[in-house]
Structure 1
Amino acid sequence: MTVNVLFAALPQRWDSYRAPLTEALREAGVEADLRTDFPPEEVDYIVYAPNSSVQDFTHYTRLKAVLNLWAGVESVTGNVTLKVPLARMVDHGLRQGMVEWVTGHVLRHHLGMDKHIRGLTPGDWPQDFPPLAEDRQVSVLGMGELGAACATTLARLGFAVSGWSRSPKSVEGVICLDGPDGLRQALSTAEILVLLLPDTAATQNLIDADALALMPKGAVIVNPGRGTLIDDDALLAALDSGDIAHATLDVFRVEPLPADHRFWHHPRVTVTPHIASETRPKTASRVIAENVRRGEAGEPFLHLVDRAAGY
């Protein structure tokens, strides 16, 4: 039996996904009709980006699941018209891209590379050697798929890594912390803090003035998670005072970051344009196809979202 799969994303994404998604469905043994337009009552699965034109799921009466192309689902979970299972994107490409970006920037700050990349002047010969990674404390807030992968990689490089999550986790080579006391411990030891939490009511403005005051003087923040995790004004105050030495930020409350935002011009801020990781069509298509196969076989879907928790 042919299943109808609706691709609901920005039109320019269709060209990059059509071939790999068609191939992945074929390899998964799924006979599928994949299109960008169906009568709603004929759709079995929606391959979905939250910024697509599909926002009301009421008329998709045959729908079995919505398969998100993004890791972030905060803009979907509150949709009251969505009654079927929602799966978020967890795939090799997304995970590996995040690991590479986070590792690169943690090493950059650990080694003090900015000073040398920006160039020395004649007579300038500062031999201030960094500590070994084993003597550098790194804390990762958020120990989901991406956070755990980043924390594990940093630990394998020798860093002393703590990972914090709301619920208890166990990750080899990482000191796993949870709850309010664990958060305070993670912050108080973080010479480099990596933020990989989802955007939920519980995480918004988590890094506020009180949290920043717990961190060691001269600490660095790396945020490829969500812009809402940080109180911008509190961070700017901590940067101005030197309590926080630098912030490398890939995500913001408003994107693109407005031209008049102080982050653009602050000497202790690095702005990157939301490039820490991206869903790659080839690897993401395999995850989507496997979930369609599971749905048709009556097996549990992968990476289901807890709608109450928001991720």
Structure 2
Amino acid sequence: MSVLIVCPGKDPENWEKALKNQHPGMNVYVYPEDHDKEEVEFALTWNHPRGLFKNYPNLKVIASMGAGVDHILSDDALPEGIQITKVVDDTLTEDMGDFVLSQVMNHIRGLHHYVKAQKEKKWEKFQYKRPQDTKVGIMGLGVLGNEVADKLHKNFFQVYGWSRTEKSCDHVTSFHGKDQLEEFLNNSEILVCLLPLTEETENILNADLFDMLPEGAYVINVARGEHLVEHDLMEMIDNGHLSGASLDVFREEPLPEEHPFWDHEKINITPHIASLTKPESVAGQIAENYDRMKDEEPLKNKVEQEKGY
């Protein structure tokens, strides 16, 4: 019985070390080194090659290295009956809250204006808004969405939330379903996307949705690049309906050098760093699920594949 680590473009060494520290008896292979495919029953992965896992006849569990699982579920050739898990980690959750708060504060205080003004050696002052006077809408009220909402509330923002199904979140004016989406958007001066990526949410950040936001609204996407229709965002910024955007996720990563986002003065780019998984922080829950699999016990943080999260 073995574990396979598959993470093209990432350094697997820290993951292997963290797993073995948690579970000294664990036999770990790192793709694409030579190994016996029949031994592998548990895989830990991020962005595996499509179709890879159909070659493992005894594979039972695929564990995501992060909170997202769309990189797994998008593979049409997954083995039947496979169980999929995601990471739920306090550090990841807290880091996401801190990042979104920093982006929201950056926007209402106009700090990006001063970066540009410094480069141009201009002494200019810009009007700012206070948190008490700012409405922030969060799309997605899962673990991360709740953390962001709580952090914004504690910093005196007016917080609104929207989810596919009805959810209750402390200190949040909540909306749910398609029928309540427009009312939610009408109250979102700053819109934060924290939705899971599913067939229903792909391309949800489009011109029709942006049109329901108040004029001058600002968009923050920390979910997945596939949520955003890129051309629609630039068009709505350029025509003045949106004041700008902060993007941490993209359809293609790294973002190509020729992409127009790089040169757009009203789009702030960060390289998918809002919340980074630390192997030593999450190895314990992965090792526990490995033991649960061996003992045929229910897994923690199991994904409902029909929902996509």
The correspondence of residues 151-166 of structure 1 with structure 2, limited to 5 A, is: 151-166=149-164
The correspondence of residues 91-110 of structure 1 with structure 2, limited to 5 A, is: 91-110=89-108
Check 1:11–1:128 CA distance in 2 against 1; reply closer, same or farther (3 A cut): closer
Q: Distance in 2 between matches of 1:122 and 1:85?
A: 56
Partner residue of 2:308?
310
Cα deviation, residue 12, structure 1 = 5.1
Partner residue of 1:74?
70
Q: Which amino acid aligns with 2:54?
A: T
Deviations 1:158-179 (Å, cap 9, x if unpaired)?
1111111101111211222110
Partner residue of 1:42?
39
Q: TM-score, normalised by structure 2?
A: 0.89
- Give structure 1 stretches of 5+ with no counterpart: none
Q: Which amino acid aligns with 1:254?
A: E
Cα deviation, residue 79, structure 1 = 3.1
Identity, % of aligned pairs? 32
**Root-mean-square deviation (Å):** 2.3
Q: TM-score, normalised by structure 1?
A: 0.89
Deviations 1:36-93 (Å, cap 9, x if unpaired)?
2531111221112223x58333343332311111322223224333231011222233
The correspondence of residues 87-166 of structure 1 with structure 2, limited to 5 A, is: 87-119=85-117, 124=123, 126=125, 128-131=127-130, 133-166=131-164
Partner residue of 1:245?
243
Q: Distance in 2 between matches of 1:203 and 1:12?
A: 27
The correspondence of residues 210-289 of structure 1 with structure 2, limited to 5 A, is: 210-289=208-287
Q: Distance in 2 between matches of 1:141 and 1:127?
A: 29
Deviations 1:183-218 (Å, cap 9, x if unpaired)?
212211111111111222111221211111111111
Q: Distance in 2 between matches of 1:186 and 1:254?
A: 29
Which of 57, 70, 82 aligns to 1:61? It is 57
Q: Which protein has greater RCO, CA pairs closer than 8 Å, 6+ apart?
A: 1
Contact 1:48 1:66 in 2 (8 A): yes
Check 1:87–1:19 CA distance in 2 against 1; reply closer, same or farther (3 A cut): same
Q: Distance in 1 between matches of 2:134 and 2:293?
A: 46
Cα deviation, residue 281, structure 1 = 0.9
Partner residue of 1:33?
27
Runs of 4+ in 1 over 6 A off after TM superposition: 120-123
User: Secondary structure at the residue paired with 1:32?
Assistant: coil
Cα deviation, residue 115, structure 1 = 2.8
1:293 pairs with 2:286: no
Q: Which amino acid aligns with 2:127?
A: D
